[in-house]
Structure 1
Amino acid sequence: MEARKSSSARGWLVTLVGMLAAVAIAINMFKVPPTMGLLMADLGIGPALGGWLMTVPTVTGLVLALPSGGLTDKFGPKKVGLFAILSAAVGSLIGSFAPNIELLLFSRFVEGLSFALIGVAVPAIIALWFSPEKSGAPMAIWSGWVPIGMLAIFTGANLFIAADDPGTWANVWWLSTALLVAAAVLYLVFVKAPEGYAAEDAPKISLVEGMKSPSTWLLAVVFAMFAFIMYAVSTFAPTYCMEELGYSLEDSNLYSSLITVGMILGVVLMTPVLNKVVRLKSRIWLLVASMVLTALIAVLAFNVPPSATVAVMIITGIVLQLVPAVIWPIAPSAAVAPVYIGTTFGVIALGRSIGGFGNASIGTLIETSGWGAAVMLLVGIGVVGVAACLALLKFLKEPAGAAAPAGAPTEPAEAEAAGRSAR
């Protein structure tokens, strides 16, 4: 019992440090929006070119989504995670000295390596420390790394910049670099696989073999449909507030930022829920319900009564955090074998990246056909996501021996198999 308590405590420490590292990377990723005005003034660029500062790392993440899973399976989540943090730090350091947009874009390409890799490495190492039925709370907490990072940089950037001094955008780059270096040190010292799990050399990993699970691809479809809706709602919420509700630009951005606050509340609410809902089938039904609410939230978010703007934005954020909170603890059960958990996470990350490219079609639809047409499309996307969730009930079954803690295997064969995935 004491050993099990110790293992659990260590697992939570690993989760916390991995989470902090991921938040530092999210801060680094989203440091552009709050400094965009300064960047444009200092570098002499317009909004179109400035927009590429967010697009470049997104494209890098899309390209790396699948390889990130294979790399995690082959080299282990610790090495891949550490590389992710260091690549972000190097990119941020280069950007701090950038005298022009060309070098800054290159630095953002380097930083883009980190976002995809950390999004696979951290949940993979959490999966080593917690069995599927015990992974609900840590995975739910992990799912909040992006909104926490966004909220931190959106609210904290003003402390380091001055509106009348365009060059102060570099202060935020230096801040991000310092946070990433600190995160790298913590990750190196505290993040490791459970004892004995790194005893065996990694087996030969086949990316194709790891992608043979239908459940893995169904989860990727769910995440793609969710991400399509999430990015559309969060991206166009300020525009809706200005055009349809008549708010100023400043007020529209303020109200829309409440979505991020709601997402963090969603993490807080889902953590105890997933700690109680431990059976795989029950979690799948929870995912179905979460996807239904996600489909409906587009209707609410783009039909806001002015008097209820604050409440609707917070509720929208809570709902938009449900699917990620549920999908991560389900994901390890979809892997074809324990050594391919990283690949499963990589495929799901690919779905998230693909869904993120839906903004262009939504923007065009709003411009040509109005908000009602956009809502209809988003609801249709949600229906596809619900169908994929229901299909999981057929393909994804409760794993044998689910009650055995992942951090304390009782059979040598189990420890050996898990050890290979920890390398």
Structure 2
Amino acid sequence: MRIGVVVWLILACGVVAALHVGKAAIATPMLLADLGLGLGEAGWLTGIFAVLGLLGGAPAGVVAAAIGGRRTLLLGLGVMALAGAAGAAAPSYPILLASRLLEGLGFVLIIVAGPAILERLTTGARRDMAFSLWSCFMPCGMAIAMLAGPLFQTWQAFWWSSAGLAAVSAVLALCCVPQGASLGGRALGQMSGDIRCLLSSRGTPLLAIGFALYSLMFFALFSFLPVLLMERMDVSYRHAGLLSALASAINASGNLAAGYLLARGAGRASLVVIASCVMGVSGIGIFFGLVPAFLTFLLCLLFSAVGGVIPATLLASAPLVARDAALVPVAVGLIMQGSSLGQLLGPVTVGGVTAAFGWGAAGAVVALSAVAACATALLLSPAFSAPRAT
């Protein structure tokens, strides 16, 4: 099996995992009507993923380091398929929420297994491009969920279909991902000292902080983008959803651009600083309403597209901060914990300050986060120039 085909298959598995994240958000109106839920209860069906990612990122990385990325990927896809089927058949909200918790477990396992496999399959510039492709999984999966959700008559049909996709992905991964695609088999006791060094190092926590700040900025906007567009552009709910899907999907262009630029020797710190500045300035223009409605949407596209450079650059830098290749999934797990923290803080912070002070306060939150992201990138410069994990 050609390496390029396997890389695309790993990306497809990530997209399927991200689709499971987004399906609850787009299916919320059907869930409210069918199960009689409140917005708070429906919110937990999406938010449980961020909570699990915050708590389970590093432990999932340890699992991947111990049993190997391929087995971890298959385990994650299997759990997600079974949990999705259980959710589709759930007779009540508590059982549906429990199934979402299990789907979240599968999601965390998949997102640490993917980079572990890519780390072993690729080298040099191809590795940077592979990681940039991998970072596209979230915007692509979320956009597909937003577009596919309205095509289903019931939320149960959506759940069954997503579970089927996970099962098919598991079969393809079983057949196509080579046995030696990632390291594994190291005893936890053997890794404990290396993991402690990784946790106490400067690079890994800073990568996690950088990802947390990016996620805070991204979800500060995208958690409220449909509402913002409906207010500013006077569009319907359906059209606001389509525009939001477009703005989310274009984030992948920044991911791919990062891979292209990194492969040609672009400075990692410079990329993060420039992208953070663009997100900060765009956020000010969006939330303060400084430009006409149509230009506001164009700023949303710019915010998303250029911002996509940051996660691709940070994920591609995980091998630089790990002591050896076996610890890359642990580093990725910690980085994803930072992402989940930002995913939680972004909506909560912006929702609170907007309720108290208006949309302009949300612009201030994004701007301050952008400044902090720039500072984090500069502190990461020594780690960015370190030799890769071997």
TM, length-normalised to structure 1: 0.85
- Greater displacement, 386-395 / 128-137: 128-137
User: How is 1:379-418 mapped onto 2 (pairs within 5 angstroms)?
Assistant: 379-399=367-387
**1:192 — aligned with what?**
178
Q: How many angstroms apart in 2 are the aligned matches of 1:101 and 1:77?
A: 33
**2:75 — aligned with what?**
83
Find 2:159's aligned residue among 160, 173, 188.
Answer: 173
Q: CA deviation at 1:139?
A: 0.9
Contact 1:284 1:330 in 2 (8 A): no
Unaligned runs of 5+ residues in structure 1 are 1-8, 162-167, 407-417, 419-423
**1:299 — aligned with what?**
284
Contact 1:140 1:274 in 2 (8 A): no
Amino acid at match of 2:324: A
Contact 2:129 2:256 in 1 (8 A): no
Q: CA deviation at 1:86?
A: 0.8
**1:147 — aligned with what?**
139
Q: Which structure: larger Rg?
A: 1
Q: How many angstroms apart in 1 are the aligned matches of 2:3 and 2:53?
A: 27
**1:284 — aligned with what?**
269
Q: CA deviation at 1:172?
A: 0.6
**1:264 — aligned with what?**
252
Amino acid at match of 1:276: R
Amino acid at match of 2:170: A
**2:27 — aligned with what?**
35
CA deviation profile, 1:57-90 (whole Å, cap 9, x unmatched): 3212221111112111111111111111111111
Q: CA deviation at 1:201?
A: 4.5
Contact 2:220 2:362 in 1 (8 A): no
Q: CA deviation at 1:396?
A: 4.2
Q: CA deviation at 1:10?
A: 3.3
Q: How many angstroms apart in 1 are the aligned matches of 2:59 and 2:280?
A: 30
Q: How many angstroms apart in 2 are the aligned matches of 1:169 and 1:201?
A: 40
Amino acid at match of 1:121: A
Contact 2:271 2:309 in 1 (8 A): no
Q: CA deviation at 1:271?
A: 3.8
Residue 182 in structure 1 maps to residue 168 in structure 2: yes
Residue 255 in structure 1 maps to residue 218 in structure 2: no
Q: How many angstroms apart in 2 are the aligned matches of 1:334 and 1:116?
A: 21
Question: How many residues end up aligned between the 2 structures?
Answer: 383
CA deviation profile, 1:239-268 (whole Å, cap 9, x unmatched): 222334444433433333321132133334
Contact 1:129 1:193 in 2 (8 A): no
CA deviation profile, 1:113-134 (whole Å, cap 9, x unmatched): 0222211110121111222443
Amino acid at match of 2:268: R
Q: CA deviation at 1:158?
A: 2.6
Q: 1:129/1:385 Cα in 2 relative to 1: closer, same or farther (>3 Å)? A: same
Contact 2:209 2:376 in 1 (8 A): yes
Amino acid at match of 2:165: L
Contact 1:226 1:294 in 2 (8 A): no
- Greater displacement, 283-292 / 32-41: 283-292
Residue 138 in structure 1 maps to residue 125 in structure 2: no
CA deviation profile, 1:326-366 (whole Å, cap 9, x unmatched): 11111111112322111111111111011111211211101
Instruction: Give the alignment's Cα RMSD to 1 decimal.
Output: 2.1
Contact 1:132 1:333 in 2 (8 A): no
